Structure 1
């Protein structure tokens, strides 16, 4: 007898195919999400490695300057700060790497010491970079392969799983938005200081470049300025009152800085007790003087409110395109001008000249 499937058999077979297809799709989509998260994790680790390598380059630069400079004490202090910054970045990197569920090369505790052998640090960063780049590439290939399988399955089952496909796409879109939200959080964390919430130096330089690029098409080039602010006596706050008071001071003075400048201007925490204010457009130096005076007043008000009694501010001011013709040097020139203020008695401000 010839077998002739009836409606029930066809329906049962179709339902079974639907279940198998949905199960296959669900497993593949879940794995794709996992691969995407792995890629995000690998990306975070690679960013941490790049930051550590940048800190390592700064240590190398201080070493070279120490070899070629007669001011050994200043170079030594800068070298110690660079080594401490390198150790802090290695500690952040170790927190990521050592918590990874994969069999990644672990970062030993001995590598986190400020006195760790730099050659060992270079080798460690090289090994970590090679491993995590390969891991990200593997996850990317896996994700693309699984996406291809999903596409083929959808073509075969399109007549049976149309309704289920809409649901799956809805779930995928929701998850994509979640991943986009998480990526935005990661990007925000990478561009802002965790304690004060201000933009960090990476965000500052990006905004500076965007501001200059936005003014190049105008017939009259926009005048831009940078005010480099260093808190005089702040180290004594940490030493005498504790780091928790120092942190509160930085948070409070950051809030006042942000409130005293225009919305279009940028206040960034450059590191430690150093801040940079990017004035995205001004007309006269008198405007910059007024901003500097308000910033100094912010520090005094914060000092008085917290009852510290000895924290003040030294500010270096540099503007583009006059006297600084290359905006890439704008922050560095403002920094050097700030040190001139410190050498001349602190608690004040000064403008950069062409000799800077």
Structure 2
């Protein structure tokens, strides 16, 4: 019964966002949170933080300069106060000193004038907006009351200015410290994020590599090992046998499904594929876990048996494989598929384990020539006879 092909028409649904007047427009611009996006956002945040940090550091240095300048002005005010006190001592304790114009008094007045001039130069050259000192206090007719008032005002203003600059500098230093902590935390988060993305990418690549390796070494339909994996296992066993003083017993059971072509021709390839998948699952369940069940191609299979005690054990394995085919055939109602199996063992019969597949294949054809549906052992004879090698059911 050939497989029927459905000729019913396929309805293509209307797109979700069709061009209708009432349909809302969806923006095509979407930000994908990938490694590049995270890296760009982190770098931008880092640059903004560094720029802000640089501005704060610059402001700290500026406040420090202002504070030092205020200290210089206050020192000049103290010197001017000292010179003014010395002149005041002459006026209070030496009557007529001003009229006598003694040398000491003239020197005290000259010192006061220099101090006031130095103070005026500092105050008037201040980079900040500070009240200037009038030039009238530097004139000879300036009264001591004007000088005292000017010095008191200058001392009060620059003390206040120095305190403000000091507080502003402490505040900015606190901001710089916090920003340094934030930048360090950002760098740490960037490092952790990069490591996480790197680890995730490695896991993805490892998973893809495992998938590629599995696809290269396994049959895509049945999931069994393919010819390449079978010969790789034989090559590994050959290398191990050369290193060991007593090589392990190995055997290959080469199997062909008799009558399987009729299944594809009469029931269709879909039924044939289902049969292969079902019988492959039974093959895998009927042998040990460390043995290799491979699909060589089409309806041909092979089993690599690792470690067996006697030929009878291999015969039991072959019989189980034949029973797997029979049960699958009966459950699916096909009733036309059986199995022919050739068995080759190493090192008793075949001296080179690389030739196990060839020897088992030759023994399998002996079964087919002798009536099919059975198994046979390969011998050292290049052309084994059916009476020596065949054991049919």
TM-score, normalised on structure 2?
0.50
Q: State the match for 1:73 in structure 2.
A: none
Matched, 1:319 2:345: yes
- How many residue pairs get aligned? The number is 209
- For the pair 1:278 / 2:296, whether they are aligned, the reply is no
Q: Are the structure 2 counterparts of residues 9 and 300 from structure 1 closer, same or farther at C-alpha, using a change threshold of 3 Å?
A: closer
CA contact (8 A) 1:14 1:160 kept: no
Alpha-carbon distance, 1:322 to partner: 2.4
Query: 1:350 is matched with which residue?
Result: 376
- In 1, the alpha carbon distance for the partners of 2:299 and 2:367 equals 16
Given the alignment of the two structures, is residue 206 of structure 1 paired with residue 245 of structure 2, yes or no?
no
Residue of structure 1 aligned with 2:289, choices 252, 263, 266: 263
Trace 1:1-356 onto structure 2 (pairs within 5 A): 11-12=50-51, 161-356=187-382
Distance 1:352 1:162, change over 3 A: same
Q: Deviations over 1:16-43 (max 9, x none)?
A: xxxxxxxxxxxxxxxxxxxxxxxxxxxx
Q: Is the 8 A contact 2:238 2:354 kept in 1?
A: no
- State the Cα deviation string for residues 156-185 of structure 1 (Å, max 9, x = none): x99984542331122121111111111111
State which structure, 1 or 2, has the greater radius of gyration over its C-alpha atoms.
2
Per the TM alignment, residue 12 of structure 1 is displaced from its structure 2 partner at its CA by 1.1
- Whole-Å separation in 1 of the counterparts to 2:379 and 2:212: 39
Deviation of 1:205 (Å): 1.2
Query: What is the alpha-carbon distance in structure 1 between the residues aligned to residue 268 and residue 48 of structure 2?
Result: 78
Structure 2 residues not aligned, in runs of 5+: 1-46, 55-182, 383-393
Distance 2:334 2:353 in 1: 37
1:211·1:280 contact (CA, 8 Å) conserved in 2?
no
Alpha-carbon distance in 1 for matches of 2:202, 2:373: 51
Alignment partner of 1:172: what SS?
helix
1:175 and 1:261 mapped to 2: Cα distance? 38
Give the gaps of 5 or more residues in structure 1. 1-7, 16-156
Deviation by residue 1:196-237 (Cα, 9 ceiling, x = unmatched): 111111111112222333344433221100000000000000
Secondary structure of the 1:267 match is strand
Return the offset for 1:9.
9.3
Cα 1:340–1:163 change in 2 (3 A) is same
Using the size of structure 1 for normalisation, the TM-score is: 0.55
Sort the Cα spacing of 1:254 and 1:10 in 2 relative to 1 into closer, same or farther, 3 A: closer
CA–CA distance in structure 2, aligned partners of residues 197 and 233 of structure 1: 23
CA contact (8 A) 2:240 2:247 kept: no
1:350 to partner: Cα distance? 0.8
Instruction: Note closer, same or farther for the CA distance 1:353–1:161 as it changes in structure 2 (3 Å cut).
Output: same
Distance in 2 of aligned mates of 1:213 and 1:298: 33
